[in-house]
Structure 1
Amino acid sequence: MNDYRVVIGINLGTTHSGFSYSYMSPSNICIHSEWKDGIGHKVPTILYYDDVYKNVRSWGFPRPTFGGKPVELFKLLLGKMENELSLLHEKAIIDYLHELSKIIKRAIQQVDLHTQALIVLTVPDDSMMLTQTFFTMREYVYKAGLLKDPLSHNFGLITESKAIEIFCMKYLKKHNLSVGEKFIIVDCRDNAVHLTTMLLWKNEKLCLISERVEANCGGDFVDQEFHEFLNRKISSSGMNPISENQFQIMKQAFNYIKKSFSGVQSEFVPFRIYLEANKPVFVPSRYNSEANRPSLILTQSEFSILLNFEDVKAIFEPIIERIIQLIDYQLRLCYDSCYAILLVGEFGKSKYLQLRIEEKFRTRTRHISRPPYSDIAILRGAVLHGIDYVILDQAYIIKLVEKNKELEEENIKLGEENKKVRELQLKHGVLTSNYNREINQNRIIVETLKNDIKGIGEKYQNKISVINQQHQNKIELQGQRAKQIQNNYYVCKNNFDKYKLLHDNLQEKYVDLQEKYNEEINQNQIIIEKLRSDIERIEEKYQNQISDIDQQYQNKFKLQEQRINQLQQSLELKENKLQDLGKEKKELNVEYDNLHQKNANLMNQLENILQQNTSCKDDISNYQLENIDQNYIISLNSDISKLNGNLKSYITDLNQDVIVNMEEIKKLLLLYKCSIKITNQKDDQLLIQAVLQRHVIETILSYAIRYFQCTGQHYHLESDIINKSSLLSILLANISKYRMGNDEITKIATTKLRQHVYTILDNRGFADIYGKNDATYEHPFIAHYKEKLNKTMDELRIIRGQEKITCENLAATIIREVIKIFWFRLKIHESPVQYAWIPYNAKVDETFMKRSNFDNDDDDDLYVGLCYFPLIGRDIASNNKDVFVPAKVFAQKINFNNK
């Protein structure tokens, strides 16, 4: 039996591709949408190669700035794979699947894709030989790294239309679709529209009752109509046609109107599209003085066009009219006996298309709708197909096991009967052998007597007669005995036939017993119903006893409430202490602000002195660095102290009211290579707090790495600033390297730029965002990952009540503090500052480590078991390291490297 834990559906599309997956749950299908440089359910099917088409330099969303040779539309050869398979086509598919597999492996973790995942790949409907395509694509998927070997069984193919049919069937189940009902699937893709008429004929099995129809009238053809509309407008004005680049930019603007156009004039606002700096700009016509302006302006300084309701409707009308004709033709083939018309595909989201189909066919069918997620029906259908395959495969294997068990029981019964038959056959053989032996003996005796009689002659005639008579009697006796033996033979044969008949009767009785078994099941069901009624009566009988027990528990609850009140008083004392600590923190913040202001004033004074007297530059620079280092270290230690306090409050003191998941804690210790064994929550409290602090810091840093790899959105402003400043730093370094000059500012420009940028980010990075009407809202990165961090920690330790709310509210603060310290603050210093985790089994050195256990200073032979706060300083990899903040470690006495 297979051990599949996840089903992965991959849609290798002509222009866009994507994948979905589900952990064996049809109601919980995940569609991957977190791409590196784009947002959406799919990524473009395109590769950028080097000049010799050997190495992939980029793929999907990012168009490389270095050029590169694009390869696209290679999926189209799948329909002609038998005759037109080329090396470049095979390499392109394998390379693209290889790049896609990296995303799949990052998205689906803790699952062995080679043994626990079923991969379902969609192929075009016009694939000439599906069997050949299966073996070819399985080899491609294997070479891309998704299969263990080229003959793996955890791979399947499904056509795109079949995937859509399965998706629609699952949707219609909730509408109680009956056997014999027909429905039409209208698959509105960008490059074509496919119509399929289906019939439900047995359970969930579908039957194609009419030929699939494909027509060139999808969403791309609406763009073509828009292009022709522009050409007509321009040619009628006597102007030169627009370039292909200008049309592509205008098409981006038109896509917004195409998606929102509903066909209702009262809902439509005329737009004027301006082309400014090769970017489309939308301006509603009611905000402009359009009365005296022409609908089309195409000059050297301005290019704009006004789109009215009638213009947009005329662009849509030919395409939608063609789709309506196709649906009308299919309904005629069904004699207008159709249960539902389902719209799927990207163009199926068009509100105007839905309105026209509803107006045209609402009287000819009972149900017209666009199912949820219909624009990704192929991806969801592929996963549903894989789940159905796994369920059917497991059910078939279970059925075979049960059938084999029944056959084994029948074979045991038949074996006992065959044993009896063999015993009878053995007896029959013995009797037959005895009979033949006695016949031979009698024949020998008769021959002997005949010879004796012939030799004696007449002399002994009388004696011969007497002896002959005696032997004649013996012969008769032998004949009687032979008859008896023959009768015994027939008796044995009859017994054999009797047992054979008995076997046949037993077979018939087995069938009767099966029917009786079914009757007994029904009777047992009646008995169960009776027992249920008896249980209800018993429940009523013992209700009073339960009330008494409940009263006893109420008394116990009162005692517990008294205990809670005592704990509440203790909690209030702790809160008072926290308030005192808060006051101290505010005082430290004020002191830090004063120091920071003094440092800024001092730097300004020193810069003025530097400009006035360049001869003292070296002395002033050294003095400035010393003061900056001192203030920097004071500020850094203050922020780290505040972070450690928040981390301790977030993790909590792990008292008896907090439940710790010890198994997950052991896994964390293995993850960070800590060899110290833990036994229980109470005795190992310090070590558990340490590994949780390490995990919180590492997890937040992983969030930051993922964030700073993305750009382009307003909530990626911090990432954009860092990327742009890095590029500017490279340019400044290049001008200092490749351009002649003797100014001092160029030499320190990159350092000053980095300091100013990271100082700004340290102050405003990931702060709340200004919204409309002076409203503010939390940074999306903080809002998203604080929920994710709290969920991660809930799996490691469980907190209840008010303390849980207090801890979860700290998540946003801790995320900001960690990123600001490790991502911004360390880069403000003029010379590089790094951080590093002390490896386990390193010897404890008090000069740059601070241990949390083994307070006895005489313990010299101590080794690092776990580092839960990193070492921060300059040149930390060398022997002459300059320590700003020592590392925090949990020590052990055993060196496991030498054990």
Structure 2
Amino acid sequence: MDRAFQRLSINERRIVVSIDFGTTFSGLAWSETKRPDHQNVIENWPTASAKEGKSSPKVPTELRSVANGFQWGFQIPSSAKRNKYFKLRLDDPSGSTTDTKSPEELTRLYLSYLYTHMKYSLEKSLSASTVWSTPIDYVITVPAIWTEAAKQKTLTAAEKAGFKSSKKTYLVSEPEAAAIYTLNNLRSSTLGVQRSFVVCDAGGGTVDCISYQIVKLSPRLTVKETTKGTGAKCGSSMLNKRFRRYIKQKFGEEYWADDDRLREAMDKFEQFKKDFTPQGEPLSLRIEMGTNAKLGVRRNRWTMDQSEMESKIFDPIIKDTIGLVKEQISATGNSVSAVLLVGGFGQSKYLKDRVKKALSSSVQVLQPSNGWTAVVQGAAMFGLRCVNENYSKLHVTSRTARKHYGVLLSMLFDPAKHNITKRCET
């Protein structure tokens, strides 16, 4: 163990673990008070045959019930049925599902596997004695648009799974976490006092936006929130939902009753959507209908026209995302210097091109490096700031209130003070 870390008092020695619990993928990162400027993203994940069989910045948010319990993440065979998208049901329990367990229970189960792997990774990096003797603080990310009830469900499930700090388990909105990381890592030439930025965290389930204005650059970067964060359920999983509905309407529910057929088609689309551009190669699927001129099937192959793909599948989701960005720009007084796209969906070149085309030429549209892990790294930075303000390179001076509270009261009518139209009889 590092001697500088050993010299810290018990109150100063801490580890911060951040959990980016996502709709389609989740991530883990950790920092420690001896190196507060460094975030360690966990990038090795268990497979069915090894504890660290897959290298990836994130792991699928998926569960599969098996005879001896559950498989999770990369352990699940590609052809197997699975539970997924259960995160969204924490905020909308009325949504249709085939899950036999509640979204709260599925979330707890999934997070318990994340917790076990987090402990394994920490002990491998720092030693078991260090991990067990050092206080750990946990930070969990949640969408900006979630209700207080959904946030509480997430927090409860996380603490039951093991992510329970000795002092307090923190929640931070996904766009705020992304903003903390992104603004800290922007080139100095991009930063400037009074400049405003919109951070758009486009993920698998939701797209969340938040805006900040730079107050000062030194001795540390200081920003203020210019308007409240906004968001909507228009993440990349909604593209999958639209495509699934489209092919079912085109070829009929009966054709897709074969789960293997539907899974193969959706797997093909999952890969296709990541690099979609209207000028790119179209999506071609195996459709076992021989030749059907009416449906466009030829020798068991069907190719979806790119213009149809753009208008029917991508356009509605892209327009919703652009609408959120424009709403933020308008709320800040149209003085935004740049829009920063982060998150998995935020890495899409097509999304960047469409956002850029929709905005004024004076607004830069940037895709920062490590955009897919911006949320989990920013959450670790947020946690360090909660432990000790001095560990943060970025200071948020003020936020915009999300809610307003008032007290209803009545008083005696005074004709010398009050408008007669406001008088009421009791």
Q: Are 1:304 and 2:301 an aligned pair?
A: yes
For 1:114, the equivalent position in structure 2 comes to: 132
> In structure 2, which of residues 273, 277, 285 is the aligned counterpart of residue 273 of structure 1?
285
Give the unaligned 5+ runs of structure 2. 1-8, 48-53, 94-101, 393-426
Structure 1 residues 394 and 167 mapped into 2: Cα distance closer, same or farther (>3 Å)? Answer: closer
Q: Which amino acid aligns with 2:297?
A: I
Structure 2 distance, partners of 1:241, 1:361, is 42
Greater percentage in strand: 2
2:269 to 250, 254, 275: 254
Give the aligned partner of residue 411 of structure 2: none
Contact between 2:139 and 2:380, CA under 8 Å: does it hold in 1? no
Answer whether contact 2:213 2:224 (CA < 8 A) is retained: yes
* Structure 2 CA distance for partners of 1:386 and 1:136, relative to 1, 3 Å: same
- 1-side partners of 2:249 and 2:154: how far apart? 48
CA distance in 1, matches of 2:154, 2:247: 45
Please report how far the alpha carbon of residue 372 of structure 1 lies from its aligned counterpart in structure 2 after TM superposition. 0.8
Structure 1 residues 138 and 181, CA gap change in structure 2 (3 angstroms)? same
Q: How many residues were matched structurally?
A: 357
CA contact (8 A) 1:195 1:213 kept: yes
CA distance in 1, matches of 2:380, 2:104: 30
Contact 2:200 2:207 in 1 (8 A): yes
| Aligned CA distance change for structure 1 residues 136 and 269 (closer, same or farther; 3 Å) | closer
Query: Which amino acid is 2:266 matched to?
Result: K
AA aligned to 2:234 is C
8 Å contact from structure 1 (residues 183, 199) kept in 2:
yes
Indicate if the aligned counterparts of 1:93 and 1:140 stay in contact, CA closer than 8 A.
no
Give the Cα–Cα distance (whole angstroms) in 2 for the partners of residues 116 and 135 of structure 1.
22
| Structure 2 Cα separation of the partners of residues 89 and 113 of structure 1 | 27
Structure 2 residue 148 is matched with structure 1 residue 128: yes
Offset of 1:176 from its aligned partner?
5.0
Give, as a single letter, the amino acid of the residue that structure 1 aligns with 2:324.
L
Q: One-letter code of the match for 1:273?
A: L
- Matches of 1:313 and 1:324, distance apart in 2: 15
8 Å contact kept, 2:90–2:104? no
Partner residue of 2:371? Answer: 374
Matched position secondary structure for 1:322: helix
- Structure 1 residues 486-885: aligned runs within 5 Å: none
Task: Give the corresponding residue for 2:42.
Answer: 32
Matched-pair contact (CA < 8 Å) for 1:15–1:73: no
Q: CA deviation at 1:374?
A: 1.0
Residue 227 (structure 1) aligned with residue 244 (structure 2): yes
Matches within 5 A, 1:431-470: none
Structure 1 counterpart of 2:206, which letter? A
| Cα deviation 1:602-639 (Å, max 9, x = unaligned) | xxxxxxxxxxxxxxxxxxxxxxxxxxxxxxxxxxxxxx
CA distance in structure 1 between the aligned counterparts of 2:91 and 2:133, rounded to whole angstroms: 27
Q: Does structure 2 conserve the Cα–Cα contact (< 8 Å) formed by 1:217 and 1:322? A: yes
1:114 corresponds to which letter in structure 2?
W
- Paired residue for 2:381, among 376, 381, 384? 384
Q: Which secondary structure does the structure 1 equivalent of 2:244 belong to?
A: helix
8 A contact 1:336–1:364 mirrored in 2 = no
Cα distance change on mapping 1:32 and 1:357 into 2, 3 Å: same
Q: Aligned pair 1:186/2:195, yes or no? A: no
For 1:241 and 1:117, locate their aligned partners in 2 and report how far apart those are by CA, in whole Å: 55
CA apart distance, 1:216: 2.9
User: What's the counterpart of residue 11 of structure 1?
Assistant: 20
Task: For residue 95 of structure 1, report the CA deviation from its aligned partner.
Answer: 3.5
Matched, 1:59 2:68: no
Correspondence 1:99 to 2:128: no
Distance 1:234 1:129 in 2: 40
Distance in 1, Cα, partners of 2:152 & 2:380: 22
User: Is residue 140 from structure 1 mapped to residue 160 from structure 2 by the alignment?
Assistant: yes
Where 2:139 maps in the other structure, the secondary structure is: strand
Contact 1:10 1:119 in 2 (8 A): no
Q: Which letter maps to 1:258?
A: K
Task: Describe the shift of the 1:87–1:227 C-alpha distance in structure 2 as closer, same or farther (beyond 3 A).
Answer: closer
Q: Distance in 2 between matches of 1:226 and 1:72?
A: 16
Shift of 1:114: 3.5
Of residues 173, 178, 186 in structure 2, which corresponds to 1:159?
A: 173
Give the AA of the match of 1:218.
G
SS at match of 1:209: strand
SS at match of 2:132: coil
3-state SS of 1:41 partner: coil
Report if aligned partners of 1:233, 1:296 keep a CA contact under 8 Å in 2.
Answer: no
Pair 1:71–1:92, CA change in 2 (3 A): farther
* Residue 342 of structure 1, CA deviation: 0.8
CA distance in 1, matches of 2:247, 2:270: 15
Aligned residue in 1 for 2:319: 321
Higher alpha-carbon Rg:
1
Counterpart Cα distance in 1 of 2:107 and 2:207: 28
Is the Cα–Cα contact under 8 Å of residues 329 and 336 in structure 2 kept in the other structure?
Answer: yes
Aligned to 2:380, what secondary structure does the other structure show? helix
For residues 293 and 63 of structure 2, the distance between their equivalents in structure 1, rounded to whole angstroms, comes to 45
Rounded to whole Å, the distance in 2 between the matches of 1:154 and 1:333 is 33
Unaligned runs of 5+ in 1: 277-289, 396-899
1:107 Cα shift?
4.2
Q: CA deviation at 1:195?
A: 2.1
Note the C-alpha offset of 1:370. 0.9
Distance 2:361 2:226 in 1: 22
- CA shift in 2, pair 1:324/1:17, >3 Å: closer
> Is the CA contact 1:183–1:198 (under 8 Å) kept in the aligned structure 2?
yes
Per chain length, whose mean CA-contact separation is higher, i.e. which structure has more relative contact order (CA < 8 Å, sep 6+)? 2
| TM-score, length basis structure 1 | 0.35
Distance, in Å, in 2 between the alignment partners of 1:336 and 1:90 is 39
Q: Which residue of 2 aligns with 1:559?
A: none
Q: 2:182 aligned with 1:168, yes or no?
A: yes
> How far does the alpha carbon of each residue in 1:394-451 deviate from its partner, in whole angstroms, 9 at most, with x for none?
79xxxxxxxxxxxxxxxxxxxxxxxxxxxxxxxxxxxxxxxxxxxxxxxxxxxxxxxx
Q: What SS does the aligned partner of 1:96 have?
A: helix
Q: Which amino acid aligns with 2:271?
A: Y
Deviations 1:132-178 (A, max 9, x none): 7898578536xx3x77xx7x248544332321221222133634523
Q: In 1, Cα distance between the equivalents of 2:82 and 2:323? A: 42
Question: 1:357 and 1:310 mapped to 2: Cα distance?
Answer: 18
- In 1, the alpha carbon distance for the partners of 2:255 and 2:375 equals 39
Pick closer, same or farther for the CA change 1:62–1:176 going to 2, 3 Å: closer
Report the CA distance shift for 1:42/1:27 in structure 2 as closer, same or farther (over 3 A).
same
In 2, are the aligned partners of 1:26 and 1:387 still within 8 Å (CA)? Answer: yes
Q: How has the CA–CA distance of structure 1 residues 133 and 207 changed in structure 2, closer, same or farther, with 3 Å as cutoff?
A: farther
Per the TM alignment, residue 343 of structure 1 is displaced from its structure 2 partner at its CA by 0.7
Q: CA deviation at 1:187?
A: 1.6
Checking the alignment, whether the CA contact within 8 Å between 2:181 and 2:378 is kept in structure 1 is: yes
Letter of the structure 2 residue corresponding to residue 269 of structure 1: E
* RMSD of aligned residue pairs (Cα, Å): 4.2
CA contact (8 A) 1:192 1:215 kept: yes
Matched, 1:73 2:73: no
**Secondary structure class of the residue paired with 1:61:** helix
Choose which of 340, 343, 349 in structure 2 pairs with 1:342: 340
